[in-house]
Structure 1
Amino acid sequence: MKQSKWTESDVPDQSGRVAIVTGSNTGLGFDTARVLAHRGATVVLAVRDIEKGDAAARRILAVAPRAHVDLQPLDLGCQQSVRTAADQLTTKYPRIDLLVNNAGVMVPPKQVTPDGFELQFGTNHLGHFALTGLLLSSLTAVDCSRIVVVSSNGHKMGGKIHFEDLQWEHSYNRAAAYAQSKLANMLFCYELQRRLRAASKTTIAVAAHPGFTNSDLMRHVWKPVAPLMKVVGPLIGQDPAIGALPQLMAATDPRVEGGQYWGPGGFAELKGYPTLVKSSARSHDRAVQTRLWAVSEELTGVTYPI
């Protein structure tokens, strides 16, 4: 299914829906939350920095005064924070219509989470893996609820799952570690969709990527390249409001199906309006999907109720 110029005005009415968007104080997450709230959803901004989250909520309310916006502290790099947030969310929202796993970090210097995980793998994959599993019962309680996994075409850039050194303890390549985390997102989405279908659940898992978007995610780009990116970025990339369209379509369009992958339809999928795109052959490797799932359950201690 190819869409021509699908925009935020095409997002259906979201009244009565509860949507949780991680990393929604800025960039893609903010614009996703803004549109959902403007369309009538109760939107939970799940953010690490509550002050920034509060500022984001005020920005949304300034353009949508009747919007229902809530804040939830969440540090995806800390498994205890994920568990606390999930407990609070399921208590307040026993029925959740939409979870957008948007937050992420990109090519930072080597850092380790409080749980000992490499920051990108621990945040981009393991944090969202745990959060989704802990919220799943609230999601499957709603017919046709959705889980949107925001990945990146960076998963194709030599990405593989380094099972022999998942936490990059022997050596560290920030770009390769990012590619691994984004490939993990794709593998997780496909395995989750298969398990949901096998359990006869109507909840679906859908993947999306924003193309090249000028956002805070680029703040760790290699310093010698930064001046060039400031010049080239606006030419090959797009604003977050446009970059958020694939994940908004994955989250709301009634024609979207589980296991699909949405991204920009322009040249090299760098920018443009949403369309169905293809992920790497590695992302469809079922043996790797199931192995990563088992490892993720072991590392997080979260077992899915399906």
Structure 2
Amino acid sequence: MSRNRGEWTTAEMPEMDDRVVVVTGANSGLGYEATRAFARKGAHVVMACRSEERGEEAKRRIRTEDDGRVRGSLEVAELDLADLDSVRAFADEFRAAHDDLHVLCNNAGVMAIPRSETADGFEMQFGVNHLGHFALTGHLLDVLLNTDGRTRVVTQSSGVHERGDIDFADLHHEESYDEWAAYAQSKLANVLFAYELQRRLDGADAEVASVACHPGYAATNLQRRGPEMSDSTVRLWAMKAANALLAQSAEDGALPMLYAASAHDIEGGEYVGPGGLLNMRGPPEIQRSSEISYDRNRADRLWRVSEEATGVTYDLERSATAD
């Protein structure tokens, strides 16, 4: 399944005046570029960042670089997805300050890093990439449901999800750890979550669309962190060379997320990625994800495991008829 939208760029984005958008990991990479685009279209963007200092620096940079083009407003808020208390605090503060939430972009993530654990004892990649966003979405669901009009949850995955599976017997890789297998598992979890959320939203007749996306191969700081944390000079130079030869820009890599967040033909339950060479670059299109990502039993089990791990439950009934 593939529906190409031609050379879709931010020029085709609808205006977003009076819209409130949350972007996790907004201070760099894809999150930074998405924040810029939303703000140019008039949205109020809450930049959810682990470091408020880096968030404020990114906010100043956008204001400086985009002088005269930013019609919206920017707000920086602290969010550490590796700490469920921080996730809860962010959601509480957001609800206290805002009545509406039109788009939640679950974008932040870590990739192929040495094994470590979150504040709550989860393997870091699974904990940040999936469980942190699962908890965040659950905490903000009431705002999404009570906002007038069709709202959206956009969850950033990766083409690497196609190599992933969910190891329920060793979910946090305590018995054995491979950094890429752990990353692939977390990115598959993102797609399973996005689809299962849509099924449950459909079952509740909710006016919220859940969409998964991936950036293809985009040059961001994400690729550097694993080699830097492993102190691997060889891997670091290999990543830099690959970025220079193969990667598209972070600005182009953000287009699938922006399309998923704003395009009029998005209904929910889609998977959006670049439609060019090997789905690594090019304009965004609606694609088909891996076969395993459509496994409803696996998705339901992951959902129940995620509720138990985070203590966050969603007041939504699962549809028995949703595709």
**TM-score normalized by structure 2?**
0.92
Whether 1:99 aligns to 2:109 is no
**Is it true that 1:266 corresponds to 2:265 in the alignment?**
no
Q: Cα–Cα, structure 1 residues 183 and 202, in superposed 2: closer, same or farther, change >3 Å?
A: same
| Runs of 5+ unmatched residues, structure 1 | none
Matched, 1:165 2:165: no
1:286 aligns with 2:292: no
SS at match of 2:4: coil
Q: Name whichever of 62-71 and 180-189 sits farther off.
A: 62-71
Structure 2 match to 1:235? 245
Task: Answer yes or no: is the 8 Å Cα contact 1:106–1:220 preserved in 2.
Answer: yes
Cα deviation, residue 232, structure 1: 2.7
Measured in 2, the distance between the counterparts of 1:20 and 1:301 equals 22
Please state if 1:48 is matched with 2:43: no
CA contact 1:61–1:67 (8 Å) conserved in 2: no
**Cross-structure match for 2:151:** 145
- SS of residue paired to 1:44: strand
Task: Give the one of 296, 303, 308 matched to 1:298.
Answer: 308
Which residues in structure 2 correspond to 1:96-245 (within 5 Å)? 96-142=101-147, 143-157=149-163, 159-222=164-227, 223=232, 224-245=234-255
Q: Is the Cα–Cα contact under 8 Å of residues 149 and 206 in structure 1 kept in the other structure? A: yes
Query: Aligned to 1:304, what secondary structure does the other structure show?
Result: coil
Q: Following the alignment from structure 1 to structure 2, what is the Cα–Cα distance between the partners of residues 300 and 36?
A: 30
Q: Which secondary structure does the structure 2 equivalent of 1:160 belong to? A: coil
Give the superposition deviation at 1:92: 0.9
User: Matched residues, percent identical?
Assistant: 47
- The CA distance in 2 between the partners of 1:65 and 1:246, in whole Å, is 21
Distance 2:142 2:40 in 1: 27
What are the superposed Cα offsets for residues 152-178 of structure 1, whole Å, 9 maximum, x if unpaired? 011112x11010011111111000000
1:276 pairs with one of 269, 275, 286: 286
Q: Which residue of 1 aligns with 2:22?
A: 20
Cα offset for 1:78? 0.4
- Asked whether the 8 Å contact 2:44–2:75 carries over to 1, the reply is yes
User: Contact 2:217–2:246 (CA<8 Å) still a contact in 1?
Assistant: yes
Q: C-alpha separation between the residues in 1 aligned to 2:131 and 2:191?
A: 13
The residue identity in structure 1 corresponding to 2:271 is Y
Q: 1: CA distance between counterparts of 2:237 and 2:132?
A: 32
Uncovered stretches (5+) of structure 2, i.e. residues with no partner: 317-323
Whole-angstrom CA distance in 2 between matches of 1:165 and 1:257: 35
Q: 2:19 touches 2:101 (CA, 8 Å); kept in 1?
A: yes
- Match of residue 321 from structure 2: none
* Aligned residue identity for 1:27: G
Contact kept in structure 1, 2:114 and 2:226, CA below 8 Å = no
Q: For structure 1, which segment, 172-181 or 268-277, has the greater mean C-alpha deviation from structure 2 after superposition?
A: 268-277
Q: RMSD of the alignment, in Å?
A: 1.0
Which residue of structure 2 lines up, in the alignment, with residue 11 of structure 1? 13
Distance 1:149 1:25 in 2: 17
Q: CA deviation at 1:237?
A: 1.0
Which whole-Å CA distance do the structure 1 matches of 2:135 and 2:49 have between them?
Answer: 16
- Per the normalisation by structure 1, the TM-score is 0.97
Distance (whole Å) between structure 1 residues aligned to residue 134 and residue 238 of structure 2: 35
